[in-house]
Amino acid sequence: MRKRSEPHTFEQRLVAQRLRLEQEMVSLANGSKRDAVAIRIEQLQAAAEMYDFLMSREEAAAPR
């Protein structure tokens, strides 16, 4: 039976995707493909910031 990998958090998946795209962008020449990858990196960064914001609000609202 195949061993299942450890589950990754949403934050870990965002970071992994961003790093993969940054590596891909290094090999791309200036143009529409590179611009699309840059936009996707910005979107991932925005998603990470929104997630952090929402999690901090959730922790603040948790009963103590």
pLDDT tens-digit readout, 1-42: 666 677 789 899 999 999 999 999 999 999 999 999 999 999
Over the Cα atoms of the chain, what is R_g?
16
**Could you count the other beta carbons within 10 Å of the beta carbon of residue 44?**
20
Provide the pLDDT confidence category of residue 64 given band limits of 50, 70 and 90: low
The reply to whether the predicted model has a pTM over 0.85 is no
Residue showing tokens 């589950």: 7
Tokens of 38: 């840059």
In this structure, the dihedral spanned by the alpha carbons of residues 50, 53, 57 and 59, taken in order and rounded to 10 degrees, is 110
Tokens of 13: 């998946």
